[in-house]
Structure 1
Amino acid sequence: MKKVLIITYYWPPSGGGGVMRWLKMSKYLPGLGWKPVIFTPENPDASVVDESLTAEIHPETEILKTPIWEPYEVFRKLTGKKKGEKFKAGYISEASSGNWKSKLSVFIRGNFLIPDPRKFWIKPSVKFLTNYLKENPVDLIISTGPPHSMHLIALGLKEKFAIPWIADFRDPWTDIDFYNKLRLTKWGDKKHRKLELKVLQKADHVVTVSPNCAKDLSKIHGKKVEIIHNGFDPEDFEGISFSPDNSFSISHFGAFNRDRNPKVLWKVLGKLAEENRTFKEKLRIRLIGQTDDSVIQEIENNGLKENLVQTEHLPHKKGLEELAKSQVLLLPINDAPNARGILPGKMYEYMAMKRPILAIGPTDADFVNILNETKTGIAFDFNDAVGIRKTLENYFNLFIEGELQVESSAFEKFSRKNLAQKFIDLSGK
């Protein structure tokens, strides 16, 4: 069996979207003839914890862990947070417009912690893995970011070993949605871009998750960038009862930050609830996972407080079980410069639910093409109140008649097993 070293910050018991890509990919590698060797921090400062995910680690997986020091306690003291308080997804967007202490923390993050706060783990990790690889050869190295410090660890190994390296960009580096909020100096911006270019040039293959992201990364270094989507794990849906509840439930699963807050949707729902008593009585807005306060505030501002059902982070399988009770699945896209290339991991799990997806974002984006191809949902621009209202009225009427459903197709190609095979195919090129 061949061996692949996977360098990832996110790994169980950490939870959230960042864990899923390589937890799920690695699960199927042994069946394809590859033994996964995971290198991950012993004590990461995770935003969410999901102990249930440890049960999904394939028994043939070898896991290497070393301690990491991250400056988050310094940030907590600087910004007045409690010791150990979790940083929510989208923290940078919130802090960049906060008080002077929050702005200072973002300035430090952007200009001195390059590429990210995990930079202090790079040198000790290169040293540890150098010693490991001398005694335990591998056939392939994969680094996955963000955090992009993982790519710099792989870069350090590439300079010492003639081992093929795939740099997997789950999200962009300098094109990521919050990059323009890092309060960067010219020097800081130059440093980020220099390191990004070096990774792109030195990696044997560069992989990302969407056509637009691939195009943007290719512009930086001029070489082809491979596309391997995120996806869904069919085993996650075994035993789940797909029985929508008796309410007109519109649900969101996962981290919901302020850059994704679809204000137009809450306004439309507020108007419909005001005009239609039955709609008001039947409507449930179900938010499962970390949700920014701005989202809650906007919902309440539109008179929908009684319709809101908020649930904190759940174990992944339990979250999917709750999601399976929904009538409509909400997919808000970040209102950011790179929005056209964003393909949220939750979208693929939504597709496997076979419930109508209501997406809000740029209508010429990659996610729209996939929704159209699989016939799993409909997308509207950030400000298309008319289109959103018309669709919601139609969905509600179909719900009342017991006919709200989608005739989805062709989404099986996004199964994690098929996607893991693509990485293996790439390793032979």
Structure 2
Amino acid sequence: MTPRQRDKILLVTYDFPPGLAGVRRVVKFAKFLPMFGLDPVVLAARPDDGLPSDAEALAQVEAAGYAVCRTPSLDAHQVRRAGRKLREAFRREWSKLDETAKQPPPASKAPVASPAKRPSRAAGLWRAISPWFLLPDDRVGWLPFAKAAAWRMLRRQPVRYVLTSSYPNSAHFVGRWLKRRFKVTWIADFRDGWTQNPYFARYPTPLHRWWDARLERSVLREADLILTVSEPIAAHLRKAGGGDRVHVIPNGYDPDDFRDIEPLEFDRFTLGYTGTLFMQRSPESFFAAVRALLDNHPGLADQFQVVFRTQFKPEHEAAIREMGLENVIFNWGMGTYREALQLQMSADALLVLEGEAPNAEIMLTQKIFEYLAAGKPILAAAPRGALSDLVRRSGAGVVVEPDNVFQMKERLFELFHDMVPYRPDVELIRTFRRGEQARRVAELLGKA
């Protein structure tokens, strides 16, 4: 048998371990593509130490042995955090010189705002003003560093393929630039939508919307191959200029990730949630449903709990207190990826939340595939679209309207009493294994 020809593929992604969000897809491409003659090298931004991190995931990447080039970035988030560190260092040094800084303020003075609250105000201000002058996104300051590093990498070693993965969409301009200069085959991978993204496509004027759509079309016209995670996103990308070069390769799960995880033991029925909560992905309607469930069935208070692995906002914590749910709803923090999987494997049922918003039908969160692999009934509070369709097609749970408290309360009661139909389509779920998805990428490149 003739040995498979091996080629280098450069994977360009802003986020990579030890970061937690948005890293799984590229990490798994890097793991499985070598089985099909594609040896990865990775180009990523340096990790942001102001965000949750996962040392275990970083150790796995380092053990895999492929090269990872990390560059600086002048994107707004990292610059803002660097400025905050500088201010904090200045305050520390100043307090050493100013002995009065150690004295409590006079009682007549108003209390000084906690420094911990300042970044959130700055972040809110930044979110309001950045869409006015940063397109396609607020990571565009990474581009000069990424292009320079990619240039050096391709000058040193032959690279046949370049795969750029978004969000952020800025990453695709590295691929376009490399294609023009090195004649590589460029694959543009969209983990999220671009101009129809319900979270990030915020335009202060019609001119901004027009210009961002123009940037999107320029990427779609030049990419040799376009991948995305759901059919609603694919339909838009085809119409916007991608045509028949657009292919759906959904997110998925890696069975190896679930091995050697010791399940937790709970003394009551446990509904688990893992992942981020932001913007319209709010848990407050769900909290109200739990409160309504306990009001109707007070005896469940000692037999039922909800465990989150996420980051609550102050308003989420306040809502739990106001509804008297402190002994029923718990947040264990984001934790590592393996800790999230441990909760998924240990809970009696799993919760996914996706709010109503323009274009929300395109959303297909990564964790739904892990939930399917964990083999537990799913309660999905989600609008019509890719996410709700998958839950129904897979036979793995029930769907309710995102803000329908009554529906959620009724389904929670049915979950507790094992009345929710759970007939998972095992063959469908097996198609979401990460190795299968890497094989499909290789097929599209003529490597399998």
Q: Shorter-chain TM-score: which interval?
A: 0.7 to 0.9
Q: Report the more deviating stretch, 25-34 or 66-75.
A: 66-75
The match for 1:28 is 32
The match for 2:438 is 420
Whole-Å separation in 2 of the counterparts to 1:140 and 1:21: 17
CA shift digits 1:87-124 (9 cap, x unpaired): xxxxxxxxxxx97x666422432122222232222133
The match for 1:70 is 75
Whole-Å separation in 2 of the counterparts to 1:147 and 1:42: 14
The match for 1:124 is 145
Q: Indicate whether 1:210 and 2:230 are aligned.
A: yes
Instruction: Give, as a single letter, the amino acid of the residue that structure 1 aligns with 2:34.
Output: P
Q: How far apart are 1:329 and its partner, in Å?
A: 0.5
Give the unaligned 5+ runs of structure 2. 1-5, 90-119
Helix, strand or coil for the counterpart of 1:65?
strand
Q: 1:46 to 1:422 in 2, by over 3 A?
A: farther
Q: Report the more deviating stretch, 184-193 or 353-362.
A: 184-193
CA shift digits 1:291-327 (9 cap, x unpaired): 3333333333333122121111211112211332211
Whole-Å separation in 2 of the counterparts to 1:75 and 1:183: 22
Partners of 1:361 and 1:381 within 8 A in 2: yes
The equivalent position to 2:290 in structure 1, one of 258, 261, 269, is: 269
Q: 1:126 to 1:223 in 2, by over 3 A?
A: same
Q: 1:324 to 1:162 in 2, by over 3 A?
A: same
The match for 2:311 is 290
Helix, strand or coil for the counterpart of 1:61?
coil
The match for 1:396 is 416
Partners of 2:397 and 2:420 within 8 A in 1: no
Q: How far apart are 1:222 and its partner, in Å?
A: 5.4
Whole-Å separation in 2 of the counterparts to 1:291 and 1:201: 40
The match for 1:53 is 57
Calculate the aligned-residue CA RMSD, in Å: 2.8
Q: How far apart are 1:82 and its partner, in Å?
A: 8.2
Q: How far apart are 1:226 and its partner, in Å?
A: 0.8
The match for 1:87 is none
Whole-Å separation in 2 of the counterparts to 1:229 and 1:3: 23
The equivalent position to 1:327 in structure 2, one of 325, 335, 348, is: 348
Q: 1:108 to 1:265 in 2, by over 3 A?
A: closer
Q: How far apart are 1:392 and its partner, in Å?
A: 1.8
Note the 1:5-404 alignment, pairs <5 A: 5-16=10-21, 18-44=22-48, 47-57=51-61, 59-72=64-77, 75=80, 104-179=125-200, 182=202, 184-221=204-241, 223-224=243-244, 225-241=246-262, 245-362=266-383, 364-398=384-418
Instruction: Give, as a single letter, the amino acid of the residue that structure 2 aligns with 1:139.
Output: R
Q: How far apart are 1:62 and its partner, in Å?
A: 1.9
Q: Report the more deviating stretch, 164-173 or 366-375.
A: 366-375
Partners of 2:355 and 2:402 within 8 A in 1: no
Partners of 2:414 and 2:420 within 8 A in 1: no
The match for 2:99 is none
Q: How far apart are 1:268 and its partner, in Å?
A: 2.1
The match for 1:91 is none
Instruction: Give, as a single letter, the amino acid of the residue that structure 1 aligns with 2:173.
Output: L
Whole-Å separation in 1 of the counterparts to 2:287 and 2:312: 15
Helix, strand or coil for the counterpart of 2:176?
helix
Q: TM-score if structure 1 supplies the norm length?
A: 0.87
Whole-Å separation in 2 of the counterparts to 1:109 and 1:161: 33
Q: 1:404 to 1:175 in 2, by over 3 A?
A: closer
Partners of 1:212 and 1:341 within 8 A in 2: yes
Partners of 1:79 and 1:105 within 8 A in 2: no
Q: How far apart are 1:70 and its partner, in Å?
A: 2.6
Q: 1:103 to 1:12 in 2, by over 3 A?
A: closer
Partners of 2:397 and 2:421 within 8 A in 1: no
Q: 1:83 to 1:211 in 2, by over 3 A?
A: farther
Whole-Å separation in 1 of the counterparts to 2:50 and 2:177: 25
CA shift digits 1:188-245 (9 cap, x unpaired): 3333222111111110111110011111222222513210100011001112355662
Give the unaligned 5+ runs of structure 1. 85-97
Instruction: Give, as a single letter, the amino acid of the residue that structure 2 aligns with 1:177.
Output: P
Q: Report the more deviating stretch, 66-75 or 325-334.
A: 66-75
Q: 1:174 to 1:64 in 2, by over 3 A?
A: same
Partners of 1:106 and 1:183 within 8 A in 2: no
Structure possessing the higher radius of gyration over alpha carbons: 2
Whole-Å separation in 2 of the counterparts to 1:81 and 1:332: 37
Instruction: Give, as a single letter, the amino acid of the residue that structure 1 aligns with 2:13.
Output: T
Partners of 2:165 and 2:172 within 8 A in 1: yes
Helix, strand or coil for the counterpart of 1:154?
helix
Q: Report the more deviating stretch, 297-306 or 269-278.
A: 297-306
Partners of 1:9 and 1:147 within 8 A in 2: yes
The equivalent position to 1:406 in structure 2, one of 401, 422, 428, is: 422
Q: 1:211 to 1:280 in 2, by over 3 A?
A: same
